[in-house]
Structure 1
Amino acid sequence: MRLSTIRTAGRTAAARQDGDELVLLPYADVGALLASGDDWLARAAAVDGERVPLAAASLAPVIPYPNKIICLGLNYASHIKEMGRPTPRFPTLFAKYDGALIGARDEIRAPAVSDELDWEAELGVVIGRSGRDVPTDRALDHVAGYTVVNDVTARDWQHRTREFLSGKTFEATTPVGPALVTADELPAGGSGLTISCAVDGHTMQKSTTADLLFDVADIIAYVSVIITLRPGDLICTGTPGGVGAGRDPKVFLRPGQELVTVVEGVGELRNLVATDGV
């Protein structure tokens, strides 16, 4: 099943994809659906309500207001190498806030204060069941599904300090979507999926999620020791090599460029870069 959050009639609504249409569900967004009870999947499948054409839908971030957005850095060997960092013993965690999130076709608002806006294609994991101290061998039971994320990063702000946050959560910079693809539709842990990123049609990143240093089960088990995971929480699993900051010479996004992010079997983000405030 593919679930999206769309903007309609001055509000948002969760929707189930049915062919080339979206069936509106009686929930404000996909996060609200997931929080409504463990039988959310059966209820989402049973609704047959108002329909809108998929092609014309205005897609909001698939989870507009997660309780938590947990991100991983340095989680592909190729990215670790290009950034000149040692291989971490433990997951490198940071967070961002929901104001950073945009939809699959929305404009990325390039911060006027940054000259080093970079791309990071990522597999997103959406939690479907609460859990604390989750064992690794049961961690995938807590996954509702997967989505596509680009953790667009202001490198000059990220590198101002040892902490990542300031470069990672500028408002309206992180596209998420176009849908949540339920876990039963994909390989276990979302492993083995091709992940890519292109700028103005030029492929910058191409890898596979099988190359994650810490896989989805590892991440869920580790994070759940620290904090309770809740339905609708979004985990961004890290990016492969090919980022702009890892190139010689470095290359960064500019207003007017198009960023296309694809995860096989999950979907595509297609976002134009615009100057913030324009």
Structure 2
Amino acid sequence: MRLLAFNEGQQPRIGALNGAGVVNLSRIDAAAPTDLGAVVKAGKLADIAAILARADGAVHHQLGALDLQLPVAAPGKILCLGLNYMDHIAEGPFEKQPFPAIFMRSPTSLVPANKPILAPRMSNSMDYEAELAVIIGQTCKHLTADNALDVIAGYSCFNDGSVREYQRHTIQWTMGKNFDQTGPFGPVLVTPDELPPAADGLKIECRLNGQTVQSSTTDMMIFKVVETLVYITEAMTLDAGDIVVMGTPSGVGHGRKPPLWMQGGDVVEVEIEKIGRLANPVKSI
């Protein structure tokens, strides 16, 4: 399934994207759930599949006309990987790490598709980072290579917008990674059955004002999805609705000479093969 959250009027809705458009679950069944994040957290994506089985080819909307929302509106944890592509490591002052470099983002840093990224007035160093997002579908601890993929509800696109100046104020990256409304996420949650195992081997790109600035494939990640989930759950419990963001390839703005920062009026897109496209304007504040 290719699921998305949107508002119809002032009411939340769940949609399913197919080749013809978007199916509105509430128009198939008035009692259908309307909060995609809540469905993920409850582990009830199968209920959506049952409703869609009754859709009988109906299409109610076109994707471009929708007021899109976050696939998971209130994730409990957002865990991100840094330095997870060798070509990206070569752009900066870092070296390959023996373990995944994990940092956290807050829910207030997220922004849905088509809504503006807020470039803060206090720093002209807003960078883009195209990334694969893994959406957790059940509570888990001490995962193994054999069962790690079983806990994944779906995959999506993420743009790990980073205010580089603040990221480098200290050895901790938290400030630069958590400015309000800087981390686009979505719009589609694609269930694992639609993709290769662990979403491996998919083309991932970022475009700024139509120009391709990042292009790679997810099989170039140093720490793959399974290895990352096993490592994270050695330390902490992952809950349904948590998000794990898998790092970015080369081509980011800070690695260019001169640096290429996002500015008000820009449009940035992240596209991952077989998952979809996440586009956002940039607004200076």
Question: What are the superposed Cα offsets for residues 23-75 of structure 1, whole Å, 9 maximum, x if unpaired?
Answer: 235334322011223xx232111225894443311111111110110000000
Asked if 1 retains the 8 angstrom alpha-carbon contact of 2:131 and 2:157, the reply is yes
Gaps of 5+ in 2: 27-31
Q: 1:103/1:239 Cα in 2 relative to 1: closer, same or farther (>3 Å)?
A: same
Q: Which moved more, 1:95-104 or 1:46-55?
A: 46-55
What residue identity is the alignment partner of 1:82? Answer: E
Q: How many percent of aligned residue pairs carry the same amino acid? A: 37
Asked if 2 retains the 8 angstrom alpha-carbon contact of 1:245 and 1:251, the reply is yes
Match of 1:12 in 2: 12
For 2:65 and 2:257, how far apart are their aligned partners in 1?
A: 40
**Secondary structure class of the residue paired with 2:48:** helix
Give 1:110-189 correspondences, 5 Å limit: 110-189=119-198
Match of 2:200 in 1: 191
Indicate yes or no: 2:219 matched with 1:210: yes
Match of 1:73 in 2: 82
Q: 1:210/1:230 Cα in 2 relative to 1: closer, same or farther (>3 Å)?
A: same
For 1:35 and 1:149, how far apart are their aligned partners in 2?
A: 19
Gaps of 5+ in 1: none
What residue identity is the alignment partner of 2:49? Answer: A
TM-score (norm 2): 0.92
What residue identity is the alignment partner of 2:229? Answer: I
For 1:82 and 1:193, how far apart are their aligned partners in 2?
A: 22
**Secondary structure class of the residue paired with 1:260:** strand
**Secondary structure class of the residue paired with 2:147:** helix
Superposed CA RMSD: 1.5
TM-score (norm 1): 0.94
**Secondary structure class of the residue paired with 2:146:** helix
Match of 1:102 in 2: 111
Asked if 2 retains the 8 angstrom alpha-carbon contact of 1:22 and 1:53, the reply is no
User: How far does residue 250 in structure 1 lie from its aligned partner after superposition?
Assistant: 1.4
Match of 1:22 in 2: 23
Match of 2:29 in 1: none
Instruction: Name which of 40, 56, 67 aligns with 1:58.
Output: 67
What residue identity is the alignment partner of 1:219? Answer: T
Indicate yes or no: 2:19 matched with 1:32: no
For 1:194 and 1:209, how far apart are their aligned partners in 2?
A: 7
Q: Which moved more, 1:46-55 or 1:62-71?
A: 46-55
Match of 2:273 in 1: 264
**Secondary structure class of the residue paired with 1:43:** helix
